[in-house]
Chains A and B, each alone.
Chain A
């Protein structure tokens, strides 16, 4: 499948239902229309904003994941990096340092963790899924052993500006949503307009060829994981600010699968090489519509998880039908 056909607009418009992206788009629109008709006050400006706000954090994390997945990697350590770096920053702030300084340390930790994971994958030739899976446990274990005793950390008192990140509004739109939108724009420009973006696609499409044509393969891998670590940290700050606290127990939750759900559902194949920011937006909105609708309908937690699981499974099946594994794609990086 050449890039021109896979990503060409006319081809997509003609056969909307033949691509996963198209199918998800149609499903999202259907779900949206159905909920609007059946659920009173689903279709209101307030609810739509609440819907987008509630999935923005998931969306931001998915952007980081998408970057890595497009380059044929995966980062399942994002939640560990997120909770440990933010919790540690809060502990430092509570022990008497300024919040700004503490946040800087948190950021450095997140980037450092990403660099190490990247190095492990790039120079140690460890498969990304295993490297990040193990690194997640190591990061979380380090955090729990050395940085903080209590999993639950309230936002340190006395920094009003910090609460604005997750709770403030710009022109009536929650800052969280604005942050998601901005990050979408930045990542879109990076992926479509820069050499870095072009190289990411090349690495995902054919790692061997990418190495031969002189792409700085290893530094690029390290950079990707550092970026996904930093994005995870940013998402953690927004999350902590909006809920006034962060709970490191998120590491044990299904959040990492929700992120993968957004990425795969939106149409970014796990075998790398293709996918755009609009796929992440689509996935985020579809998951948001589903979760919001189910919450309004007061659907039981177990059934909500079941629905999410079935949808993820369907998305993976469609993904493998639309992006069939062939000799080239199944060589490495396949899950």
Chain B
């Protein structure tokens, strides 16, 4: 009897030691292993409008970090603002067959067919911030209609009859065929059509050029010294619009709304009082969502183009009251 008891006790003790040693080493998570193994060695290519400006540099920095962490390759094909070079890059990518392309569209038409072809060739496609007419595996970015609506609403609040110096509003667009322009204008007019008292006195394209934006606003202010509001399509160009308003001594009278990625440079202009309202689509946030979509699509067994999703990221309205580190970023923060 005594011996049996001793044996049992020894067995229990041994089992305890074995279990304890198993817990010391931890438990393998099979999902983690699969996650890393599946992503390792995949190939992701980013086709921006052009590198060298806050949005594309920001997204690239965030994407590069994830690629490094998850050991997949990340390449950039920079067409440097040339739609032609972008089209050629896309054509060669279709034959190279990377696992995923992140495309930033110069306009709604140019890449539409090629993106469909890429998916037909088995390449998954995520579009970032500027859509094309083709819906692909995923779109991550701003809802330009929503930006237009928010901008127009802000201007209506300041300039509807009896509120401002007049009910006159000017609109500065960028390149007339870009998604940002066509969808944002739709959003703007959806709101303005409900407020017939608001008068759009000028609507001009600036080619995203601040000096041209400045000249246009100079001329508009000469024609309409009582201008009440202005909507610009991009903070980079609207620095010029804001300078014209400031130099005409009309900063207190003209309410300027712009939008952008929330780079510190744009925020500086809010602090200086050049922009009254800055609608930010938050590049670091977009970068993170983009990364989640890249990982999700690379892990998925589904064929390219099988399911199509999109996510319009939240927008932040930045004014003098909430310019802070959370809303504004520098490239060094992301690297």
The answer to whether B242 touches A244 (Cβ under 8 A) is yes
Does chain A have a CB within 8 A of B322? no
The answer to whether A301 touches B57 (Cβ under 8 A) is no
Q: How far is the CA of A44 from the CA of B81 in the complex (A)?
A: 39
Counting chain B CB atoms within 10 Å of each CB, the highest count among A53, A149, A243 belongs to A243
Give, as a whole number of angstroms, the nearest-CB distance from B215 to chain A: 4
The answer to whether A296 touches B223 (Cβ under 8 A) is yes
The answer to whether B223 touches A239 (Cβ under 8 A) is no
Interface hits, B145-176 → A, CB 8 Å: 176
Name which of A23-31, A123-131, A150-158 contacts chain B: A150-158
With a cutoff of 8 Å between Cβ atoms, the chain B residues found around residue A296 in the complex are 219, 223
The answer to whether A301 touches B205 (Cβ under 8 A) is yes
The answer to whether B215 touches A54 (Cβ under 8 A) is yes
The answer to whether B208 touches A50 (Cβ under 8 A) is no
With a cutoff of 8 Å between Cβ atoms, the chain A residues found around residue B50 in the complex are 151, 249
The answer to whether B176 touches A149 (Cβ under 8 A) is no
Counting chain A CB atoms within 10 Å of each CB, the highest count among B211, B213, B216 belongs to B211
The answer to whether B218 touches A50 (Cβ under 8 A) is yes
Residue tally, chain A, CB below 8 Å to B: 38
- Give 1 or 0 for each of A153-173: 1 = CB within 8 Å of chain B CB: 010010000000001000000
Choice from B203, B211, B219, B237 contacting A292 with Cβ under 8 Å: B219
- Judged by DSSP, the binding face of B is helix
- Judged by DSSP, the binding face of A is helix
- Give 1 or 0 for each of A235-264: 1 = CB within 8 Å of chain B CB: 000010011111111101100000000000
The answer to whether A295 touches B216 (Cβ under 8 A) is yes
Counting chain B CB atoms within 10 Å of each CB, the highest count among A144, A152, A252 belongs to A152
Q: How far is the CA of A249 from the CA of B80 in the complex (A)?
A: 9
The answer to whether A154 touches B239 (Cβ under 8 A) is yes
Q: How far is the CA of A5 from the CA of B208 in the complex (A)?
A: 46
Interface hits, B193-245 → A, CB 8 Å: 201-205, 207-211, 213-216, 218-223, 236-237, 239-240, 242-243
A243 and B214 contact, Cβ closer than 8 Å, known pairs A41-B222, A47-B223, A50-B219: yes
The answer to whether A247 touches B210 (Cβ under 8 A) is yes
Does chain A have a CB within 8 A of B314? no
Choice from B81, B204, B210 contacting A252 with Cβ under 8 Å: B81
17 contacts between A and B (CB under 8 A): A44-B222, A47-B219, A50-B221, A54-B214, A57-B211, A144-B52, A149-B331, A151-B50, A154-B265, A154-B269, A167-B247, A242-B243, A243-B213, A244-B242, A249-B209, A295-B202, A301-B207
**Residues of chain B whose beta carbon lies under 8 Å from any beta carbon of chain A:** 50, 52-54, 57, 80-82, 176, 201-205, 207-211, 213-216, 218-223, 236-237, 239-240, 242-243, 247, 265, 268-269, 274, 331
